[in-house]
Structure 1
Amino acid sequence: MSTAYGKIPKPEAAVSIDAILPITKKLKNGKNAYLQAIDTTNQPLVTHLQALFNQAIEDGSTYPQEYPLGEQQFMDYFLGYDAFVLATEIIDRNKDYDFDNVVIGMYYVKPNYPGRCSHICNAGFITSISFRGQGGGMAMGETLLTTAPALGYKASVFNLVFVNNEASIRIWRKLGFQEVGRIPQAGRLKNSPDQLVDALIFYNDFSKNNALPK
């Protein structure tokens, strides 16, 4: 995908991502959830994930985009590098699903900067409305500490975590991310129509996590 810096090459992977997937996490209800790479050839899955992302845009409180993305725009933005889905089971592209009851959430990982700084990644997360409050966001955040280092990244930075996104802020603070900056009046958000909302910048050094498989 294109960014403000153009197409950014990824760093060299530290280990094969296939060697560490799927990652099993336990939700608050005690049930297992499975993190797996998004199969971009699974059209029904991609269509569902596009709808999830566009719903987040329509909600207007977490992502900066103002208008829904078409299929190619979504592919370029969310699926252009590495992307993962957390689901109630391992998704088989040859099987039919009611994805509303299967997909817990998703996230992407991609370079935040070009060239000499491309070892620092950015990640963007979506939790399905039907699964909110069940620990899916925390589960995905925990898996990032494994997937991103495996992909070759040394650290991550989140550029826009709006200050009224309390659930997200709780996750990153609990996982040990550092609050390294604040952008005043960063967003016109639907959940705060009478004011421009500040955004926090969170950073994490993956070398402190020791999350890669031995």
Structure 2
Amino acid sequence: MAYNLPKKKDGIKLDYLPIDWTTKKGRKVVLDEYDVKDEPSLHALFQDTVNVGESYPQDSATLEEFRSYYLTHQVFVVKDSKEGNILGAFYVKPNFPGRSSHICNSGFLVDAICKGEGIGKWMVKNYLRIAADLGYKASFFNLVFEINNAMIRIAQNLGFQQAGRIPKAVKLNDGRYIDAIQFYKEFEVDGTT
């Protein structure tokens, strides 16, 4: 990491968690805070996502790399209500240090078995609420790969503005370089998004 980020925003209670929801395909899921017992499953989901190479810049995902990147701040998981399997996750952490630490960032994971069920959009909607409730004032997504059509659509539909484009920012598994898009959304004064 290039600089030290502030630690977790401890002491802030999100009384509305857990949140139950039903996906577009009728799957019952629950969103809640990460528990350390979720680490093996969450690491496997992160590793699978990194290996696909279409949404995260990492080219490996050892347990230590995963911990130092994904688990340093607040993390939330989506589980299948029946079986308890992790189907998705996201973190909330400052995007920048110090005077700019009021702008947060997130990284989303969706298990391939439930893509197209709306879990991604539902997680981003909940992320916006949670991030505002944790005291952040805005969100900035640094590196949305231009081939990540689902995330681009979600960001645009939820009111994010394109803040920039980084030419040839990402090298895909096939060796091609593609652009990355940056998205920004300021939270409302009253905490809503």
Task: Please tell me whether the aligned partners of residues 5 and 94 of structure 2 are also in contact (alpha carbons under 8 angstroms).
Answer: no
Correspondence 1:69 to 2:62: yes
Give, in whole Å, the separation in 1 of the partners of 2:71 and 2:7: 15
Residue of structure 1 equivalent to 2:119:
136
Query: Which residue is equivalent to 2:44?
Result: 51
Other-structure match for 1:116: 99
Q: Is the contact between residue 140 and residue 183 of structure 2 (CA under 8 Å) also seen in structure 1?
A: yes
**Structure 1: 5+ residue stretches without partners:** 91-96
- Choose which of 53, 69, 84 in structure 2 pairs with 1:60: 53
1:32–1:64: structure 2 CA closer, same or farther, 3 Å change rule? Answer: same
2:59 alignment partner, SS class: coil
Contact 1:9–1:114 under 8 Å retained in 2: no
Match of 1:83 in 2: 75
- Pairs within 5 Å for 1:199-214: 199-207=180-188, 210-211=191-192
Residues matched between the structures, number? 193
**Residue in structure 1 matched with residue 29 of structure 2 by the alignment:** 33
Which residue in the other structure is 2:16 paired with? 20
Shift in Å, 1:209: 8.0
Matched residues in 2 for 1:210 and 1:181: separation?
Answer: 25
CA gap of 1:48–1:24, structure 2 versus 1, over 3 A, is: same
Name the CA distance, whole Å, in 1 between partners of 2:180 and 2:92: 20
Residue pairs, 1:1-12, within 5 angstroms: 3-9=1-7
Normalised to the residue count of structure 2, the TM-score between the two structures is 0.91
Q: Which residue of 2 aligns with 1:94?
A: none
1:85 match: secondary structure: strand
**Does 2:180 align with 1:196?**
no
- Identical aligned residues as a percent: 39
Give the deviation of 1:142 after TM superposition.
Answer: 0.8
Q: TM-score scaled by structure 1?
A: 0.83
Contact 2:7 2:72 in 1 (8 A): no
1:147 equivalent in structure 2? 130
